[in-house]
């Protein structure tokens, strides 16, 4: 289900625009003073502009009427000085808000990123990345521009209009009231405009997020699209989304154009009526020529504040929608949090236990039972446990509960007898490290990726460099990732976005090295060797034995060969652990275990047959032996043990 469907329901009661935007005060903070100063500078600029018509009145009714040319010069210089002062105030207004509002944007973006890091995996399962990206970039940029420009001009232009109206009435109450009366339709149209424009704006920004998601997904998935010849299909889908966004933007532009018609037409009609009436009043001697000139010069100064109201109102509604979208994320309740009084384990022994663990995904229909339905399992300190089961039995989900990527629905997971929920997430994930089947690397150096779980060794501090190099060498050696030293810049080589510049096997070995380098008390491996060829897998397994000898390990096994790493094997069936024992014991005693192992053997044979008949288009490790190559002794020994 799409995130916008999950988190935005237009039928719910709307919060007022002012109230919605008022929530930004938390992040504006110290920038409020420069924004207020900017408003004052803008107001002074407009007051200076309103003072110029008064000087013009003095010129027309004074020196020009009397024919005193010399008296015109100082008054003209005064107009020039006022114009220069107005320009200076405009420049000051911009200078005051540029830096503070960019800091507000940075503060909000940092808070959003921190929130995204803190939210559980279940949140990210439901939210498309493009929606999050559009909020972090487009929406926050819009909010910054509104704070620096839209807010200042909207508030101050309303103040200027009121001051200007008072000046017009003081010049001629009749003309002033006519001019103000003509503005009433503008307020009515503006009120109706807000409701319709807000809904369309929200739809437009959500559709922009959908489009960003489509682009974001197509980049890492370009190999798949090309391999299956689905480029045109992807383009067709993108065009359809782009067309929906275009249609919404056109609807938005039409609403904007409609209000502009009123904003430009009504003041023009008001000026026309005032001109006719003003000329008649001047002819009757009730209004001097200078006053008439000053009246229309003042009206000309007010033209921009009045005309800008429509644009600024639309801008404000855009900012309000961006604010709503931002707080969609910030208001999300985190279901996986640290305890108020956390427990600390300085030197955990590594006993990992599952006690009556039940789990179901939050979007799972009620008619389906729990995915994990009462799992009981204990891993002794230093023990290696293989977890096997059919596809979809919940093996990966069970491993994710160990580090609280998800929280159990009921029951508990404990480390050394302490419920993992009693530890802070930072400490828990320092004690338990994970390596996933889908190896994810970051756009950073090999060194930074491998030492991700050892922040104390990160950076270029000479004091820790030697230790960092030792840990890095050891981890790369265990993971058989020595290829890293042969990269263009060695271990300082940046691997590119998601590590796509490397082969699948190389990515997986670096991910395994990352888990090993963390030096955890418990190592959780979710089939971390699936992309490796037989020979490399055997070498990695042999090296892993040295690590597993002193580390508690839970290994999800998708290959029979992986089972041979374990001291014991746990069979996951129908959401429960139905058998625990050595591989030989389970082969003798469990019919379902024999079926699972047989299925894994069939899958492995098919994978080997496929590997021998193709050249890997993604650059997977084909330099090592395939099924067509001589069989290594380790592989022969494993198959004999399984049989």
Three-state helix/strand/coil letters over 29-64:
HHHHHHHHHHHHHHHHHHHHHHHHHHHHHHHHHHHH
Structure-block tokens of residue 184: 């009433």
Dihedral sign computed on CA atoms, order 62, 67, 69, 71? negative
Judge whether 51 and 82 are in contact, CB under 8 Å. Answer: yes
Length of the chain: 643
To the nearest 10 degrees (0 to 180), the angle between helices 184-218 and 289-330 is 40
Cα(391)–Cα(253) distance, integer angstroms: 51
How are strands ordered across the β-sheet holding 410-415? 372-379, 352-359, 410-415, 418-419
Distance (Å, rounded) from C-alpha 416 to C-alpha 552?
A: 11
Strand partners, 581: 569
Strand-pairing partners, residue 373, are: 358
**Whether 402 contacts 432, CB under 8 Å:** yes
**Alpha-helix residue ranges (DSSP H) falling in 219-368:** 222-227, 231-283, 289-330
Q: How far apart are CA 115 and CA 119, in angstroms?
A: 6
Among 345, 346, 352, residue whose Cα is nearest residue 375: 352
Beta-carbon contacts of residue 399 (< 8 Å; ≥ 6 apart): 387, 434, 524, 526, 554, 556
* Interaxial angle between packed helices 231-283 and 289-330, expressed in degrees from 0 to 180 and rounded to the nearest 10: 150
What span, in angstroms and rounded, lies between the C-alpha atoms of 120 and 560? 33
Dihedral angle computed from the Cα positions of residues 107, 112, 113 and 116, in that order, rounded to the nearest 10 degrees? 160
Which residues fall within 8 angstroms of residue 126, CB to CB, at 6 or more apart? Answer: 1, 3, 6, 363
Alpha carbon distance 81, 561 (integer Å) = 88
640's tokens: 């004999």
Contacts of 615 (CB under 8 A, 6+ apart): 622
- End-to-end CA, the chain: 46
Give the span between the Cα atoms of 215 and 568, in whole angstroms. Answer: 46
- Can you list the positions of beta strands (E) in 352-477? 352-359, 372-379, 384-388, 410-415, 418-419, 432-435
Q: 3-state secondary structure string, 462-482? A: HHHHHHHHHHHHHHHHHCCCH
CA distance 522 to 515: 10
Of 535, 539, 542, 540, nearest to 625 by C-alpha is 535
Q: In this structure, what token pair is assigned to residue 176?
A: 């002033």
Spatial CB neighbours of 501, under 8 Å, sequence gap ≥ 6: 495
Report the alpha-carbon distance of residue 433 to residue 435 in Å, rounded: 7
pTM (two decimals): 0.76
Report the C-alpha gap between 493 and 588 in whole angstroms.
50
> Tokens in use for 292?
């008439």
Q: Are 568 and 383 in contact (CB under 8 A)?
A: yes
**Mean per-residue pLDDT pooled into runs of 10, the chain (643 residues):** 45 66 90 93 92 85 72 84 91 92 93 92 85 88 92 91 87 82 74 72 80 70 63 76 84 80 79 83 80 84 80 85 92 90 89 94 82 93 91 90 93 94 92 83 86 80 82 88 88 76 82 87 82 73 78 85 85 92 90 87 65 45 36 40 39
What is the set of domains in the chain, with CATH numbers?
27-330 (1.20.1560.10), 352-642 (3.40.50.300)
Instruction: Give Cα separations from 542 to 28, 398, 539 (angstroms).
Output: 57, 26, 5
Q: What is the DSSP letter of 494?
A: B
Nearest to 624 by CA among 639, 606, 608, 640: 608
Burial 606-617 (b: 16+ CB within 10 A, else e): eeeeebeeeeee
Residue 621 · residue 506 · CB < 8 Å:
yes
Name the nearest CA neighbour of 546 among 584, 526, 583, 516: 516
Using CB atoms within 10 Å of the CB of residue 211, give its burial: 0 to 12 exposed, 13 to 18 middle, 19+ buried. middle
Cβ atoms of residues 79 and 56 within 8 Å: yes
The answer to whether 352 touches 532, Cβ cutoff 8 Å, is: no
With tokens 């921190």, the residue in question is 114
């Amino acid at each position: 289900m799409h995130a916008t469907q999950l988190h935005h329901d237009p039928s719910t009661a709307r919060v007022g625009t002012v109230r919605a935007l008022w929530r930004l005060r938390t992040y504006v903070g110290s920038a409020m003073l420069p924004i207020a100063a900017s408003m004052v500078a803008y107001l002074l600029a407009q007051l200076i502009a309103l003072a110029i018509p008064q000087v013009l009145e003095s010129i027309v009714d004074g020196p020009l009427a009397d024919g005193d040319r010399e008296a015109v010069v100082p008054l003209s210089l005064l107009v020039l000085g006022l114009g220069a002062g107005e320009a200076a105030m405009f420049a000051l207004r911009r200078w005051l808000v540029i830096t503070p509002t960019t800091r507000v944007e940075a503060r909000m973006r940092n808070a959003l990123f921190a929130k995204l890091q803190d939210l559980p995996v279940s949140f990210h399962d439901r939210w498309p990345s493009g929606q999050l990206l559009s909020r972090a970039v487009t929406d926050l940029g819009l909010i910054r521009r509104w704070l620096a420009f839209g807010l200042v001009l909207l508030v101050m232009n309303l103040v200027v209009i009121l001051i200007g109206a008072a000046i017009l009435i003081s010049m001629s109450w009749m003309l002033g009231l006519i001019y103000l009366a003509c503005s009433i339709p503008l307020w009515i149209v503006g009120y109706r405009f807000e409701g319709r424009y807000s809904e369309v704006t929200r739809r437009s920004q959500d559709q922009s997020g959908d489009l960003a998601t489509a682009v974001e997904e197509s980049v890492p998935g370009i190999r798949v699209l090309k391999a299956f010849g689905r480029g045109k299909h992807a383009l067709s889908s993108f065009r359809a989304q782009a067309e929906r966004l275009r249609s919404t933007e056109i609807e938005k532009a039409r609403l904007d154009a409609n209000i502009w018609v009123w904003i430009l037409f009504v003041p023009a009609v008001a000026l026309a009526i005032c001109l006719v009436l003003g000329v008649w009043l001047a002819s009757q001697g009730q209004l001097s020529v200078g006053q008439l000139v000053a009246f229309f010069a003042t009206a000309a100064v007010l033209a921009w504040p009045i005309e800008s109201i429509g644009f600024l109102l639309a801008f404000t509604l855009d900012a309000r929608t961006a604010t709503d979208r931002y707080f969609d994320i910030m208001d999300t309740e985190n279901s996986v949090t640290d305890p108020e009084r956390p427990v600390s384990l300085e030197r955990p022994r590594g006993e990992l236990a599952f006690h009556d663990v039940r789990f179901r995904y939050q979007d799972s229909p009620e008619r389906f039972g729990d995915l994990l339905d009462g799992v009981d399992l204990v891993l002794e300190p230093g023990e290696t446990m293989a977890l096997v089961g059919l596809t979809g039995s919940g093996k990966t989900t069970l491993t994710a509960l160990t580090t609280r990527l998800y929280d159990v629905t009921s029951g508990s997971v404990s480390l050394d007898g302490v419920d993992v929920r009693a530890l802070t997430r930072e400490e828990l994930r320092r004690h338990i490290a994970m390596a996933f089947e889908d190896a994810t690397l970051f756009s950073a150096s090999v060194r930074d990726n491998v030492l991700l779980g050892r922040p104390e060794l990160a950076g270029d501090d000479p004091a820790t460099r030697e230790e960092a190099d030792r840990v890095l060498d050891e981890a790369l050696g265990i993971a058989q990732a020595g290829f890293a030293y042969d990269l263009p810049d060695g271990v300082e080589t940046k691997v590119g976005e998601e590590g796509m510049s490397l082969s699948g096997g190389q990515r997986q070995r670096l991910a395994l090295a990352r888990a090993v380098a963390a030096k955890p008390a418990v190592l959780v491996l979710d089939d971390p060797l699936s992309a490796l060829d037989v020979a490399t897998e055997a070498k990695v397994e042999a090296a892993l034995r040295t690590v597993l000898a002193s580390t508690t390990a839970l290994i999800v096994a998708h290959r029979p060969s992986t089972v041979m790493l374990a001291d014991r094997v746990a069979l996951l069936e129908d959401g429960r652990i139905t058998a625990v024992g050595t591989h030989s014991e389970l082969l003798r005693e469990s019919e379902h275990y024999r079926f699972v192992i047989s299925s894994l053997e069939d899958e492995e044979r098919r994978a080997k047959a496929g590997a021998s008949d193709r050249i890997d288009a993604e650059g997977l490790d084909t330099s090592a032996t395939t099924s067509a190559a001589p069989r290594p002794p380790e592989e022969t020994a494993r198959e004999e043990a399984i049989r």
